[in-house]
A and B are shown apart, each in its own frame.
Chain A
Amino acid sequence: MIAVARGPAWEKGGERGVADVSARILIAEDEPHIVESLSFILTQAGCTVSVVYDGAAAIEAMQARPLPDVLILDVMLPKRNGFEVLKWVKSEPGLKDVPVMVLTAKGQQQDRETAEGLGVDAFITKPFANRDIVACVKRLADA
Chain B
Amino acid sequence: MVHAPIGFKIRTRRKELGFTQAALAKQAGISASYLNLIEADKRSVGGGLLQTIAGLLDVESDTLTGRAERRLIDSLREVAAEPILQHLRLDPDAAIDLVGRHPEWARALLALHRAFRDSVHTTAALSDRLNRDPFLGETVHKILTHITAIRSASEILDEGDTLAPEQQQRFHGIISGESGKLSETAQALAAYFDRANTETRALTPTDEVDDFLIESGNHFPRLEDAADRLRRQLDKYGGLNPQSCADYLKAEHGVTTRSVLPAQAELARYRNQSWFDAESRTLSFLENISMSTRRFQIVRLAASFALEEAIGAETETAQLVSSEAQLLARRALSSYCASAVIFPYDTFLETAVALRYDTDILRQRFDASFEQVCHRLATLRRPGGEGLPFAFMRADPAGYITKRYPLPQLALPAHGHGCPLWAIYQSFQTPNRIIRQLAEFPDGSRYILIARAETKRPGAFHEPPVQRSVMLAFDALHADSTVYGDGLDVRAATLATPVGPACRLCVRTRCQHRSDEPIVESLGKR
Which A residues contact B (CB, under 8 angstroms)?
16, 31, 33-34, 36-38, 40-41, 76, 80-81, 83-84, 87, 105-107, 109-110, 114, 117, 126-131
Contacts and interface: CB of A to CB of B under 8 A. Distances in A.
Majority DSSP secondary structure for residues of B touching A: helix
Contact of B155 (A81, A126, A129): A129
Contacts of B238: none
Which 8 A-B pairs give the minimum distances between C-beta atoms?
A37-B152, A105-B144, A33-B149, A127-B148, A110-B408, A126-B148, A127-B151, A127-B147
Contacts of A40: 156, 167, 171
Contacts of A129: 151, 155
A83 B479 CA distance: 13
Given A31-B149, A33-B177, A37-B149, A107 B408 contact: yes
Given A31-B149, A40-B156, A127 B178 contact: no
Contacts of B140: 106
B477 interface: yes
B38 interface: no
A41 B177 contact: no
A105 B145 contact: yes
Interface residues of B, number: 29
B137 interface: yes
Nearest to B407: A110
Nearest to A18: B159
Contacts of B145: 31, 34, 105, 126
B409 interface: yes
B153 interface: yes
A60 B145 CA distance: 25
Contacts of A36: 153, 170, 174
B148 A105 contact: yes
A76 B137 CA distance: 12
A37 B144 contact: no
Interface of B: 137, 140-141, 144-145, 147-153, 155-156, 159, 162, 167, 170-171, 174, 177-178, 386, 408-409, 444-445, 477, 491
A38 B155 CA distance: 11
Nearest to B491: A80
A76 B151 CA distance: 19
Nearest to A35: B149
B525 to A, nearest CB: 11
A114 B174 CA distance: 32
Contacts of A38: 152
A37 B409 contact: no
A99 B252 CA distance: 57
Contacts of A41: 152, 156
A128 B152 contact: yes
A29 to B, nearest CB: 10
Nearest to B178: A33
